A and B are shown apart, each in its own frame.
Chain A
Amino acid sequence: MTDLKRTVLFDLHGELGGKIVPFAGYEMPVQYPMGVMKEHLFTRAHAGLFDVSHMGQILMTAKSGRVEDAALALERLVPVDILGLKEGRQRYALFTNDNGGIQDDLMVANRGDHLFLVVNAACKDADFAHLKAHLGADCDIGMVEDRALVALQGPEAETALARLVPDVVEMAFMDVAIRHWDSAELWISRSGYTGEDGFEISVPNKFAESFVRRLLDMEEVAPIGLGARDSLRLEAGMCLYGHDIDEGTSPVEGNLTWAIQKARRDGGAREGGFPGAGRILKELAEGPSRRRVGLRPEGRAPMREGTEVFAGPEGGDPIGKITSGGFGPSIEAPMAMAYLPADLAEGTTVYGEVRGKRLPAVIAPMPFQPNRYKR
């Protein structure tokens, strides 16, 4: 509990009645007086505002000055086509390790002459050191320390943000742009982690509170805590690093093969060349032995992280484990993610052991809640 850090919006969270908990080394609001359930539903109906300033913002510029060189450098650490990422666009990526596991997941944006990365709070120092150690000879790599990051998520996010920055309406899902609000330079992406349309906005620390207050003054917008952020991302089928994916799970096991573009696969223009490529390319070709899947428990009882999963209602050894689980306020039912043998098809009934009882759950497609991005 010592040495917890605070984001620049900490005092505002207190003023708004946020319940503060330690998270990834920060004191962060887990919920506001509205409560997790209502905050979740508010975000899906209107626009939720999340403080994600604890996440790492990293700038990466090639010493040659060419963004292509920064992209090629980063490709040495991720199994993702960064060179093919166009200016003004963002893409999901993964830092892999030599064993083919995942060191972190991140967003990468091409901003014309450099790359902008957003990484998880708990991993940001390690990610920064990793980038410096492997790419420092070719690239200038800097952690952005003077900016907050907020996410505005939900069907009314565009209406709300457009009052301050009118031309965000022209952005499509995964576009990035730099825009001004008064004298503040905003780094905006049309993305998020809720499955809803929305934006992530990097704002200079000194303007962060006034910017957030302007948004919160709008009737479409309410502050949302980490509790609802978790249930929203789980309904959207998205991984939480350290839970659903980690150093021991490969991107193929994690069901993230969509993040590995053709250029980096066998026969691609820049095949392999990332940490753990041997295992990852082999799993792509032959299939993994286990895979992250969605589970829909049949009753109302949630199956939480750590719940062991069995093939049958009695006997046998566990066949896997739940990595995230809870209740989905929008789907009005429990939901979970688990690692299970890859040969089990969707629709198969398995059994989660909850308080000594085996309860049925069906392997189900994700997302649990359809996403609503603006393509």
Chain B
Amino acid sequence: MKYTEDHEWLRVEGDHVVVGITDHASEQLGDVVFVELPEPGTSVSKGDEIVVIESVKAASDIAAPLDGEIVEVNSDVADNPGMVNEDPTGKAWFFKMKVADLSALDGLMDEAAYKEMIG
């Protein structure tokens, strides 16, 4: 898995990239009560705010980690936002995207670097 500074994880699945948030992010957010996902088919640029997460405490945005196109979203998460706290790195993935260039992932953190970042 690869990680962004915004506490997203990315997993390559065939020629798609699956994106979610880390355990650390889920703990920091607290109980998630609302998730808004982008429409499949949306073209996104790195840094675009494409997911809204509301916890009992506050609203946060999740940015597109890379340039590409959203090919699938996990509607289970929108229906049952608590999944983000229960299984953030498994069942509660947010979206799958097709990226123009998979080598762009090489610039992201690996697990050791991410763990160092969160201390």
Contact = CB atoms under 8 A, between A and B. Distances in A.
A37 B52 CA distance: 19
A300 B56 contact: no
A35 interface: yes
B30 interface: yes
Contacts of B99: none
Contact of B59 (A36, A37, A227, A304): A304
B34 A36 contact: no
A326 interface: yes
Contacts of B81: 300
- Interface of A, secondary structure class, is mixed
B72 interface: no
Contacts of A302: 33-34, 54, 59
Contacts of B34: 300-302, 327, 334
B73 to A, nearest CB: 16
A6 B57 CA distance: 23
Contacts of B59: 302, 304, 355
Given A36-B57, A329-B56, A300 B30 contact: no
A231 interface: yes
B67 interface: no
B23 interface: no
B52 A327 contact: no
A292 to B, nearest CB: 22
A31 interface: yes
Interface in A265-312: 300-302, 304
A37 B54 contact: no
B36 A36 contact: no
B69 interface: no
Contacts of B58: 304
Contact of B52 (A35, A231, A329, A355): A355
Contacts of A334: 33-34
Interface in A17-47: 31, 35-38
Contacts of A36: 30-31, 56-57
Given A227-B56, A302-B54, A355-B52, A37 B36 contact: no
Given A37-B56, A327-B54, A327-B56, A301 B31 contact: no
A170 B1 CA distance: 61
Given A37-B30, A301-B34, A327-B33, 4 more contacts: A301-B36, A301-B54, A304-B58, A327-B56
23 contacts: A31-B30, A35-B30, A35-B31, A36-B31, A36-B56, A36-B57, A37-B31, A37-B56, A227-B30, A227-B57, A300-B33, A300-B81, A301-B34, A301-B54, A302-B34, A302-B54, A302-B59, A326-B56, A327-B33, A327-B56, A334-B33, A334-B34, A355-B59
A19 to B, nearest CB: 9
